[in-house]
Structure 1
Amino acid sequence: MKRYHYLTAGALASLFLLGNSSDSQAQRRPNTQFAPYSSVSFGVGSSHYYGDLAGYRQFIKATYIMPRWNVGLGYTRQFTPHFAARAAFTWARIAGDDYTFNKGNINKSTESLVQYTRNLHFRNDLKEFAITGIYNFVADGRNSNVRAKFTPYIFGGIALLAHSPEARTPAGTDAGEYEPQKWVKLQPLHTEGQGQPGYDKPYSLVTAAIPVGFGLRYRLNENFNLGFEIGYRYTFTDYLDDVGGPYADPAVLTGVASKMADRRQQQFDSRYKNPPDRYAVLKDLFNAGGQSQADVLSALQTPVRGAPGSILGFLKDGYILTSFQIHYIIPGKIKCPPIK
Structure 2
Amino acid sequence: MKKITGIVLLLAAPFVSKSQDWHIGGIAGISNYNGDLTEKRIDLKHIGPMIGLQVKRDVNRWLTLRGGATFGLVAGDDKDSEGIGRRARNLSFRSPVFEGHVGAELNILDIDDKGFTPYIFGGVAVFGFNPSAKDSIGNRVYLRQLGTEGQGLAQYPERGGLYSLAQVSIPFGAGFKYLLSDKFTIGLEVGLRATFTDYLDDVSTTYIDQNTLLAERGQLAVDMAWRGDELHGGAYPLDGAQRGSDKNKDWYAFTGITFMYRLGSSGGNRSTKFSKCFRM
- Tell me whether the two structures share a fold, i.e. TM-score over 0.5: yes
Residue 255 of structure 1, CA deviation: 3.3
Q: 2:26 aligns with which of 24, 42, 50?
A: 42
Cα separation, 1, equivalents of 2:106 and 2:168: 23
| Structure with higher strand content | 2
Q: 1:139 aligns with which of 85, 110, 113?
A: 110
Cα separation, 2, equivalents of 1:263 and 1:333: 59
| Structure with higher helix content | 1
Cα separation, 1, equivalents of 2:244 and 2:67: 34
Question: Are 2:269 and 1:331 equivalent residues in the alignment?
Answer: no
Unaligned runs of 5+ in 2: 1-17, 269-280
Higher Cα radius of gyration? 1
Q: Which amino acid aligns with 1:266?
A: E
- Paired residues in the alignment total 243
Q: Which amino acid aligns with 2:154?
A: P
CA displacement, residues 180-225 of structure 1 (integer Å, 9 cap, x when unaligned): 2111111011111111113221111111100110000001111111
Cα separation, 1, equivalents of 2:267 and 2:50: 37
Q: 1:186 aligns with which of 120, 128, 143?
A: 143
Q: Which amino acid aligns with 1:196?
A: L
Residue 321 of structure 1, CA deviation: 1.1
CA displacement, residues 307-331 of structure 1 (integer Å, 9 cap, x when unaligned): 5xxxxx5320001210111111111
Unaligned runs of 5+ in 1: 1-33, 106-111, 142-146, 171-179, 268-278, 283-295, 308-312, 336-340
Question: Are 2:86 and 1:115 equivalent residues in the alignment?
Answer: yes
State the identity %: 33
Cα separation, 1, equivalents of 2:148 and 2:170: 27
Residue 251 of structure 1, CA deviation: 2.1
Cα separation, 2, equivalents of 1:237 and 1:36: 39
In the alignment, what sits opposite 1:255? 219
Cα separation, 1, equivalents of 2:24 and 2:212: 50
In the alignment, what sits opposite 1:88? 68
TM-score by length of 2: 0.81
Cα separation, 2, equivalents of 1:113 and 1:46: 29
Cα separation, 1, equivalents of 2:243 and 2:169: 24
Q: Which amino acid aligns with 1:259?
A: D
Structure 1 vs Structure 2 CA RMSD: 2.5
Alignment of 1:1-340 (within 5 A): 37-55=21-39, 58-59=40-41, 62-100=42-80, 102=81, 105=82, 112-141=83-112, 148-170=114-136, 180-199=137-156, 200=159, 201-253=161-213, 254-267=218-231, 279=232, 303-307=241-245, 314-332=247-265
Contact 1:213/1:229, CA 8 A, preserved across alignment: yes
Cα separation, 1, equivalents of 2:183 and 2:86: 51
Cα separation, 1, equivalents of 2:169 and 2:70: 13
